[in-house]
Structure 1
């Protein structure tokens, strides 16, 4: 069976990568609007209502408008914007955490944020298991390749080769924080410090844990073992191998990849730990996650067409 897919916002970074993944696949037929029709409300309405699946790669307000243009019960939606990540009635598109069946059966799916994916992958299972407290004030430090900022940031980094580090969200209002708090069941919003580095793609998300100052935590080995068991035989979310040289690297120009690696590091006396996720911000952090959810919603193996 062939499913029709309309990518609304296919000219952006996420949309282009989704289209690249889907174009060679026989299971999907892409509905494509010409450049002169991409922003035409009538043409978009027609495409959105014709499609079996609509994938929204749009700014938040435009994504809300797109959902409002759908006037049938047939079209199922995957929204890659922030607009619906904490909205009632939307299933969070992180099958490993939200449940594969929940995503497969969903009519409306919100694609996770890239930073959120790493934080939630590390923290949510441990909080659920009682190995980390829900009432702790967590800190999340993260760096990302500049492709996550869209075409404008890509142009800026590639034009100015002297940028070595770009810290932002300095007023602590990053749009990923609400989903990080909600999806991990935390009583307080994490203190989130994101930055962009001169790498095209790739991301490292870290959660430092001062275990000696915390109560109600498991041991470092308990956390490592629980995460390994929680993600089990997943080919997408995996436990990374302990680096022999004590270093974890992020290359400046890595190949696209839809896998995410998790690590639990700690000192010898167990008083401090570092939870770390390494992923492709355009893979499991964006386009790869959308394709994974689309596979499940279409009744296909979740890894079909992914770069693993």
Structure 2
């Protein structure tokens, strides 16, 4: 379709596929992820993080050839309507996106992006959208003194977000013991990374009364077993890597909370200032990207059939903690 005045068309260069995208799909209605890229019923477009290049522009502030990092549809092209623009960011002001959190409508201009480094876009596409949650959770653990516990149990430790959190806790939170939970199939790989102090499987849950739990699984059966066995001081619910919708995203149970990254970003920016937040996040992200070179293999998939097959693997939970998928159409 022809562009309207003020719109910009981009060719999507690449995007990552992970359990993070599965969470977007599972919470698409309740957290409005389907509103990012509307489709006629009964279809929905799953959003994905990656890079794109401007191929046509009807906006004076955006030049053809400029490259952006942000949240795109799993597609070959996208159209945005820039609203607020500065040297660092372009914010999409399309009508259907105005009510969404700023984090989802903001596109980083690669030429001025503090995290971007040439030759790392595949790793950025995989790590960057996940690691920001790791970064925010690490701050939360620090601010709460691990909810007055000396032990943090992290579920779904084969997920990249959980691995990022474990890596940050090991680096930043001296005196906090970390216990990673994963499937028997992934246990050896997670142990081999040396990120967590201890790794246990879902079939042999640890008995650690008084621990805090950061849950990426969204699995109510697992959480019930953990509550019974570990008597946690706090449960922080983050994601749904097990492909189940665990219920309401608002939690009224004492000692439990649902972690929503966009709200945490707003709070962190208010505390650190926008520039301070950018610097702290960029430094940590670049460090983790560099550290990942020793253990993370990137699998590139191209074309509709290959992307469909990769998405099927993500949905089935058959990912590998030491590999990741970057796709293009």
Q: Using structure 2 for the length normalisation, give the TM-score.
A: 0.22
Q: Using structure 1 for the length normalisation, give the TM-score.
A: 0.23
More strand per residue: 1 or 2?
2
